[in-house]
Chain A
Amino acid sequence: MARRTFSIGGVHPADSKISRDCKLEYLPIPPTVYIALSQHIGAPAKPVVAVGDKVKAGQVIAEPGAFMSAYIHSSVSGTVKSIGPRKDLSGNNQMVVEIAVEGDEWMENIDRADNLVTSIPDDPKAIIEKIKLGGVVGLGGATFPTHVKLSPPPGKTCEMLIINGCECEPYLTSDFRTLLEKGEQVVVGTALIKKALGVAKATIAIEDNKPEAIEHITKVVETLKAKGPEYSGIEVLSLMKKYPEGGEKQLIDAVMHRQVKSGGLPIDVGAVVDNVCTALAVYEAVQKNKPLIDNSVTVTGECFPKQANLIVRVGTPLNYVIDYLGGVPESAAKVISGGPMMGKSIANLEAATMKGTGGLLFLTREQTKRMPESSCIRCGKCADACPMGLEPFLLNRLAKAGDTDALEANAVQDCIMCGCCLYSCPAGIPLLDVISQARGQVMGIMRARAAAAKAAAEAAKASAGS
């Protein structure tokens, strides 16, 4: 049988999952945590604690600032020391709540027992409410508030829930370890999301470079299917290893053979995609009342002597994590939050982890240094690699010429910033740097135009009404 994957483009960087055999392990609680108020897409949360307040682990410290926002909980017990700006991993100021840790006292309603709760609540609304109260956001990288995603706009129905276990980024293994060690919880979480959406089918998609995970989850799904009808319709699907399989649009293409229209949402083609760690967070929030206050982080890199998959409290300073494992190695030149393809370069190691922090990757200068730029030889490797079927060489040229109309006509706004073009360019041309700027510019123009059109339509309506 042909191995299933998405249909356009993609690249095959070396797997490098050197931390795949490191078991999940709990990182000790740091002396101080810095919990950011904006750890999700959308409006920052509004703090509800004051300096000097005593808080417990799992206590709400900030409420959603808007519809598109999320609750934020204290990840430790202690005293709020300050609420103010602190430099994040890119060196820019961000509002954080600083909490000095005292002991490890949890909120009373949190069930900290290890037993698996398999019974699924009947009311979808109750599930979504609990997810919202648990501050669950998408842990695949985008940190989209999950309760918003699970409330599709009226008129749109979901046909398939896709649980993303691809982990197509090289090096990262936290999803893989979660699947292996917390597979039961992930599957129950899947059933919970399935119930919340009222959808009959769910697919847990895993790349075939993780055969142990596929085997384990298949077994778990089989066992749980005996527990009740809520678990029927959950399938495990093996996909061919190819980057960026875990991209939402690519995954939908691979699993459902459908493509999301430009500017559309997955729900337009009847799909909702959630990460395995999100499913785990949903399980914990709904079945155990445990909000999203810790997440798994892969710490890895060939030059890093002690690879690990750690469960880290949200707000732990990065250098505390690194020091726990022996400090920054001398040969490391770059530290990346996330994977090597889409992760963000860290400029400030004093920054703290956030809900979406999935990996800390150390690369040597040799591994990561960009090669000097030479002229384009029009080999077309960037166009072959682009999973959106764009032509980066052309977009690069148009962006340099500042031709925003042509950029829009050539779909620069469809770029998903996966980095395949720059990865594959033999001439070392910084394609993505240029394209992402152009993309921002074109999207701004499109938004302005849409707003103007809306205003004009409303004006016309108003004048017609009067």
Chain B
Amino acid sequence: MTTTIIWTIAIISGLGLLLALTLYLVAQRFKVVEDPRIELVEKAMPGANCGGCGFAGCHAFADSAVKAPNLDNHFCPVGGNETMKKVAEILGYEIKEKAPMVAVVRCAGTCAARPKTSEYDGSVSCKVKASLYAGDTGCAYGCLGCGDCVAACKFGALSMDPETGLPVVDEEKCTACGACVKACPKAIIELRKKGPRGMREFVSCVNKDKGPSVKKACANACIGCGICQKTCTHDAITVENNVAYIDFDKCKLCRECEAMCPTGAIHGVNFPKPLDKDAVKARVQERQKKAREAAAAAAAKPVGEPVEPPVQEPVVLKKEESNG
């Protein structure tokens, strides 16, 4: 009895040792030598493997970052500047800070504003729907509402609003990885700068058709009238292909364009105070009137005397507004 136990213990232990030795030797033999910094960098990454940086995953990013001469082509949108600082520290590189971005849905074609003209009966997929036809509304550019972006988001930041039929971005969760931008076949979603305290202005429409037909299709659309362009004193708005676009680097958040837009296609979000449309409108109209008078006066005056453009005043005004 005792001998049996002893033998059993001895054999099992021996076998264990032998196998452990084999495992160790095999591990040594097939060891892959990797730059240890890769692992360090990877640990500093968020580990979501979302591919938002343009690499297959966090490991691929780390591998490429370690081998790269600088970090100009490497940015983790999910971890943002915090993560990139850590990565730069590990690798001893300099980095330029990037402003935080957020996904913005540039379509305001709610069910109420954009009546349905047909009934779609295929797969619930924007890609399938987009390759089949222009969409089940009069607008050939707007949101198709099948939620490809929602499915593409790995952070749960997107959801469909059942009432409007449009996707909604949860700014807290959005990491600006850009997966939704790639998923949207209509190129409606754009990564824009988050702005100070999240405040930003954008044109919530991408319809390139001419005004009258756009108006017929959707009440909230940009009709390309160009009023915003004329209103903007910072040269931030361009109207191309019948649709306006606000350059977020130039925009000073004065909200004048938003107040002047006849269809409400320009949206301002996260502003602490609601926009007093009439007051801003009156102010802008007053300024434009003055400018016209000044121009008329300048035209009447002999050439050579420069005209003071009335630019300074609204900037001060707008600052008050955004701070208040």
Provide the B106-145 mask, 1 if CB < 8 A to any CB of A, else 0: 0000000000011001110101100111111010100000
Complex contacts, A440 vs chain B, CB 8 Å:
131
Interface size on A, residues (CB 8 A): 16
Provide the A83-100 mask, 1 if CB < 8 A to any CB of B, else 0: 000010011110000000
Q: If A92-B140, A370-B121, A430-B122 touch, does A437 touch B132 (CB 8 Å cutoff)?
A: no
Complex contacts, A368 vs chain B, CB 8 Å:
121
Complex contacts, B127 vs chain A, CB 8 Å:
437
Give chain B's interface residue range (CB within 8 Å of chain A): 10 to 19
Is B121 touching A91 in the complex (CB atoms < 8 A)? no
Is B128 touching A347 in the complex (CB atoms < 8 A)? no
Q: Which residues of A from 57 to 114 have beta carbons under 8 Å from B? A: 87, 90-93
Complex contacts, A91 vs chain B, CB 8 Å:
133-135, 138, 140
CA distance A370 to B140 in the complex (A): 24
Is B140 touching A436 in the complex (CB atoms < 8 A)? no
Is A347 touching B123 in the complex (CB atoms < 8 A)? no
Is A433 touching B134 in the complex (CB atoms < 8 A)? no
By beta carbon, the residue of chain A nearest B208 is A93
Q: If A433-B128, A437-B127, A437-B128 touch, does A92 touch B121 (CB 8 Å cutoff)?
A: no
Provide the A367-386 mask, 1 if CB < 8 A to any CB of B, else 0: 01110000000000000000
Complex contacts, B138 vs chain A, CB 8 Å:
91
Task: Name B118's contact: one of A92, A347, A370, A436 (CB within 8 Å).
Answer: A347
Complex contacts, B140 vs chain A, CB 8 Å:
87, 91-93
Is A345 touching B123 in the complex (CB atoms < 8 A)? no
Is A369 touching B125 in the complex (CB atoms < 8 A)? no
Is A90 touching B121 in the complex (CB atoms < 8 A)? no
Is A87 touching B134 in the complex (CB atoms < 8 A)? yes
User: B121 → chain A, closest Cβ, in Å?
Assistant: 6
Is A433 touching B117 in the complex (CB atoms < 8 A)? no
CA distance A33 to B310 in the complex (A): 53
Q: Any chain B CB within 8 A of the CB of A434?
A: yes
Task: Name A345's contact: one of B131, B133, B209 (CB within 8 Å).
Answer: B133
Complex contacts, B136 vs chain A, CB 8 Å:
347
CA distance A93 to B210 in the complex (A): 12
Q: If A430-B123, A433-B123 touch, does A90 touch B128 (CB 8 Å cutoff)?
A: no
Q: If A92-B140, A93-B140, A347-B118 touch, does A434 touch B123 (CB 8 Å cutoff)?
A: yes
Consensus secondary structure, chain B interface: loop
CA distance A179 to B125 in the complex (A): 41
Is A90 touching B122 in the complex (CB atoms < 8 A)? no
By beta carbon, the residue of chain A nearest B135 is A91
CA distance A430 to B146 in the complex (A): 15
By beta carbon, the residue of chain B nearest A368 is B121
Is B134 touching A437 in the complex (CB atoms < 8 A)? no
CA distance A406 to B140 in the complex (A): 34
CA distance A453 to B127 in the complex (A): 29
User: B147 → chain A, closest Cβ, in Å?
Assistant: 15
Provide the A421-439 mask, 1 if CB < 8 A to any CB of B, else 0: 0000000001001101100
Complex contacts, A437 vs chain B, CB 8 Å:
125, 127-128, 131
Complex contacts, A370 vs chain B, CB 8 Å:
121-122
Complex contacts, A436 vs chain B, CB 8 Å:
128, 131
Is A90 touching B123 in the complex (CB atoms < 8 A)? no
CA distance A457 to B84 in the complex (A): 40
CA distance A430 to B127 in the complex (A): 13
Complex contacts, A369 vs chain B, CB 8 Å:
121
User: B134 → chain A, closest Cβ, in Å?
Assistant: 3
User: A55 → chain B, closest Cβ, in Å?
Assistant: 26
By beta carbon, the residue of chain B nearest A431 is B123
Complex contacts, A347 vs chain B, CB 8 Å:
117-118, 133-134, 136
CA distance A91 to B136 in the complex (A): 9
By beta carbon, the residue of chain B nearest A93 is B140
CA distance A440 to B135 in the complex (A): 20
Q: Which residues of A from 246 to 280 have beta carbons under 8 Å from B? A: none
Complex contacts, B118 vs chain A, CB 8 Å:
347
Q: If A347-B117, A437-B128 touch, does A92 touch B134 (CB 8 Å cutoff)?
A: yes
Provide the B13-24 mask, 1 if CB < 8 A to any CB of A, else 0: 000000000000
CA distance A434 to B132 in the complex (A): 12
Complex contacts, B133 vs chain A, CB 8 Å:
90-92, 345, 347
Complex contacts, B123 vs chain A, CB 8 Å:
430, 433-434
By beta carbon, the residue of chain B nearest A369 is B121
By beta carbon, the residue of chain A nearest B137 is A91
Q: Which residues of A from 422 to 466 have beta carbons under 8 Å from B? A: 430, 433-434, 436-437, 440
CA distance A347 to B116 in the complex (A): 11
CA distance A92 to B132 in the complex (A): 10
CA distance A243 to B127 in the complex (A): 28
User: B137 → chain A, closest Cβ, in Å?
Assistant: 9
User: B214 → chain A, closest Cβ, in Å?
Assistant: 12
Q: Which residues of A from 392 to 412 have beta carbons under 8 Å from B? A: none
Provide the A182-213 mask, 1 if CB < 8 A to any CB of B, else 0: 00000000000000000000000000000000
User: A75 → chain B, closest Cβ, in Å?
Assistant: 25
Complex contacts, A87 vs chain B, CB 8 Å:
134, 140
User: A361 → chain B, closest Cβ, in Å?
Assistant: 15
User: B286 → chain A, closest Cβ, in Å?
Assistant: 40
Is B132 touching A345 in the complex (CB atoms < 8 A)? yes
Q: Which residues of A from 331 to 366 have beta carbons under 8 Å from B? A: 345, 347
Complex contacts, B125 vs chain A, CB 8 Å:
433-434, 437
CA distance A436 to B122 in the complex (A): 13
Complex contacts, B134 vs chain A, CB 8 Å:
87, 90-92, 347
CA distance A90 to B133 in the complex (A): 5
User: A431 → chain B, closest Cβ, in Å?
Assistant: 10
Provide the B131-175 mask, 1 if CB < 8 A to any CB of A, else 0: 111111010100000000000000000000000000000000000
User: A344 → chain B, closest Cβ, in Å?
Assistant: 8
Provide the A280-317 mask, 1 if CB < 8 A to any CB of B, else 0: 00000000000000000000000000000000000000
Complex contacts, A433 vs chain B, CB 8 Å:
122-123, 125, 128
CA distance A409 to B125 in the complex (A): 25
CA distance A370 to B117 in the complex (A): 19
Q: List 7 A-B contacts (CB under 8 A).
A: A87-B134, A91-B135, A93-B140, A345-B132, A430-B128, A434-B125, A434-B128
Closest CB pairs A-B (n = 6) = A91-B134, A90-B133, A433-B123, A430-B123, A433-B128, A347-B133
Q: A368-B121, A369-B121 are in contact. List 20 more A-B contacts (CB 8 A).
A: A87-B134, A90-B132, A91-B135, A91-B140, A92-B133, A92-B134, A93-B140, A93-B209, A347-B117, A347-B118, A347-B133, A430-B122, A430-B123, A430-B128, A433-B123, A433-B125, A434-B125, A437-B125, A437-B127, A440-B131
Chain A residues with CB under 8 Å of chain B are: 87, 90-93, 345, 347, 368-370, 430, 433-434, 436-437, 440
